Chains A and B, each alone.
Chain A
Amino acid sequence: MEPLNWIAAHQEMIYIVVLMIFVGIEVIGRVPSVLHTPLMSGANAIHGVVIIGAIIVMGQAEESNIPALVLGFLAVLLGTLNVVGGFVVTDRMLEMFKKKK
């Protein structure tokens, strides 16, 4: 009954997963096609939240463990590119949607 125990031990997380699936679908259900690209770009920036995992890995690496430090550094760097680049590119796209007279 190992899988059952595992589910029981992680039930909080599993609840979040299930609820977020519904929220994710509900929240963008009515998006007009004009916004498909910016929305994709914005979602792209949001999954950059993976950087938090990279920061934890990096911050916990032992100072003598050079490979872990280098890989962690790389992970934080790539994650930052995803987050910062993602939000800036989305902003640039949306900047052009401004209504003008």
Chain B
Amino acid sequence: MEMNLLVLAYLFGSVTFIVGLKMLSNPASARKGNLVAAAGMTAAIFATIFLYTDKNGNPLGNYLWIFAALAIGSVAGTSMAKRVQMTAMPEMVSLFNGMGGACAALISVIEFGHLQEKDPGTLLIILLGLIIGSISFAGSMIAWGKLNGKIKDFSFGGQHIFNLALLFFILGIATYLVAAIPENMTLLFYGVVALSILYGVFFVLPIGGADMPVVISLLNSFTGVAAACGGFLYENKVMLTGGILVGAAGTLLTILMCNAMNRSLKNVLIGSFGAGATAGSSASFGGTYKEVSLSDAAVVMSYASKVMIVPGYGLAVAQAQHVCHELEKTLEAKGVEVKYAIHPVAGRMPGHMNVLLAEADVSYDKLLEMEQANEEFKNTDVVLILGANDVVNPAAKSDPASPIYGMPILEVEDAKHVIVNKRSMKPGYAGIENQLFFQPKTSMLFGDAKKALQELLAEIRSI
């Protein structure tokens, strides 16, 4: 009876994961989908604690330990997730992903200690969970460190060859362990742990920060597969379903994200953005740019009939979304039509800007997607760029030597005036110059996005 209830709870869990994921891919149902999956997870967890029995019918013990860990984890997880700034969400996801990877690896380590009859199939699954979990853990930690600026890009000559060799070495040891089942394999087993962690570190280190979302998504699907290994180990169907589901969906999502940036996954993993590109083609380009005074900018915008705002990472960093919304309302009160042009990869993650602007109560139908915005730039009087750079860089269309060549961009040059707010002339995340800033129709408004917008707002109100 209890066993059957457990099966029912696992079935329920599996179905909610599929339905939840399906709902998550539609804007109208996404939030409910997340809750549906969470409900299924809760049911599966508590069913396991109270109903699970081993082959001899013994229930689980150590309730005190289990509930202590659950309580501490829940409190810590909730408070971390609640307190995190909108700008730091990507690194939070990476951190949680790393926790999952570590959890899968730990299960493998403990089960290795329990391994008695040395069955090759079981050992294979344990090693697979261990290797994938460790890589996912180490890689996610590096991605986390890179996104919050604690770890800098690092690469050395031949690193890709070194990585490949390291990976084959790890797989070689694993194959030997499974095939030969040596008498004493403890040392080699822990060698695999250490090398897998090392591989995770070297795998992510050379990849540029702008590509981090893609890498996190890839590591996310890795953790899914590692979780599925656990499912195989315990013949646990909900773990298997959830793990493989995320493994498959995560892989597809990774590819979709690459497509949104018009880059291939191989390009992301091997041809790292940041490294080497700085000294590249556009370095020869230079010229003069002109600054615009606050009052001039205020006048131009107040008397425009249509203003398009292009938000970028700079807006997120400055937390300027609320004052941006104020500016929008003030201009609208003066009869100016204001819209936002959202590049799919503006900010540090796809959807970053939508989330940020929605937080400031910006109406959903004011946000234009790239294709739509590109059509409207032609009849736009003023484009106000707030801390965006690479996504408006015309080199993506015109300069085949540029590292971002081929990426779809917002064609802001079609508008009559372009005002660019940046903190300095420093290049954007891809580390390349932006010709847009030197064009005659472009004028620069230097300063922190929040401060500049507040001052601009005051000027506009005084007109």
Q: Which residues of A contact B (CB under 8 A)?
A: 2, 6, 10, 13, 16-17, 20-25, 27-61, 63, 67-69, 71-101
Contacts and interface: CB of A to CB of B under 8 A. Distances in A.
Of A10, A25, A35, A79, most buried by chain B (CB within 10 Å of CB) is A79
20 contacts: A2-B120, A27-B18, A27-B21, A28-B25, A35-B24, A37-B350, A38-B30, A39-B21, A45-B41, A46-B21, A49-B41, A49-B239, A50-B104, A55-B48, A57-B107, A80-B70, A91-B35, A93-B89, A97-B354, A97-B364
Contacts of A97: 27, 30-31, 354-355, 358, 364
Contacts of B82: 88, 92
Interface string B308-321: 00000000000000
A84 B90 CA distance: 16
Interface in B45-76: 45, 48-49, 52, 54, 59-63, 65-66, 68-70, 72-74, 76
B103 A78 contact: yes
A55 B38 contact: no
Contact of A87 (B38, B120, B231, B260): B38
B153 interface: no
Interface in B79-133: 80-82, 84, 86, 89-90, 92-93, 95-97, 99-100, 102-104, 106-107, 109-111, 113, 120-121
Contacts of B351: 33-38, 93
Contact of B52 (A56, A92, A99): A56
Nearest to B223: A47
Contacts of B66: 55, 58-59, 76
B103 A51 contact: yes
Contact of A40 (B228, B253, B359, B363): B253
B62 A46 contact: no
A95 to B, nearest CB: 7
Contact of A81 (B76, B247, B250, B355): B76
Contacts of A35: 24-27, 30, 351
B73 A79 contact: yes
Interface stretch (B165-173, B213-221, B264-272, B280-288): B213-221
A40 B250 contact: yes
Nearest to A92: B81
Given A13-B240, A25-B249, A76 B49 contact: no
Interface of B: 13, 17-18, 20-22, 24-27, 30-31, 33-35, 37-38, 41, 44-45, 48-49, 52, 54, 59-63, 65-66, 68-70, 72-74, 76-78, 80-82, 84, 86, 89-90, 92-93, 95-97, 99-100, 102-104, 106-107, 109-111, 113, 120-121, 213, 216-217, 220-221, 223-224, 226-228, 230-250, 252-253, 256-257, 260, 342, 344, 349-352, 354-356, 358-359, 361, 363-364, 369
B37 A79 contact: no
Contacts of B363: 100-101
A76 B73 CA distance: 8
Contacts of B73: 76-81, 83-84
Contact of A72 (B65, B93, B235, B355): B65
Nearest to A95: B31
A82 B362 CA distance: 31
A10 B249 contact: no
Given A20-B244, A36-B349, A45 B38 contact: yes
Contacts of B250: 24, 40, 43, 47
B125 to A, nearest CB: 10
A44 B100 contact: yes
A94 B34 CA distance: 9
Nearest to B104: A50
Of B99, B256, B344, most buried by chain A (CB within 10 Å of CB) is B99
A49 B238 contact: yes
Contacts of B352: 37
A49 B242 contact: yes
Given A72-B110, A81-B77, A20 B239 contact: no
Contacts of B33: 42
A25 B20 CA distance: 14
A89 B341 CA distance: 26
Contacts of B220: 40, 43-44, 47
Given A16-B240, A86-B96, 13 more contacts: A13-B231, A33-B344, A38-B355, A40-B217, A43-B250, A47-B223, A50-B107, A55-B48, A85-B80, A89-B89, A90-B34, A91-B31, A97-B358
Contact of B60 (A42, A56, A89): A56
A99 B354 CA distance: 12
Nearest to B54: A60
A35 B237 CA distance: 28
Name the 10 nearest CB pairs between A and B, nearest first: A80-B73, A59-B60, A24-B248, A85-B77, A53-B230, A49-B242, A84-B77, A76-B69, A31-B25, A88-B81
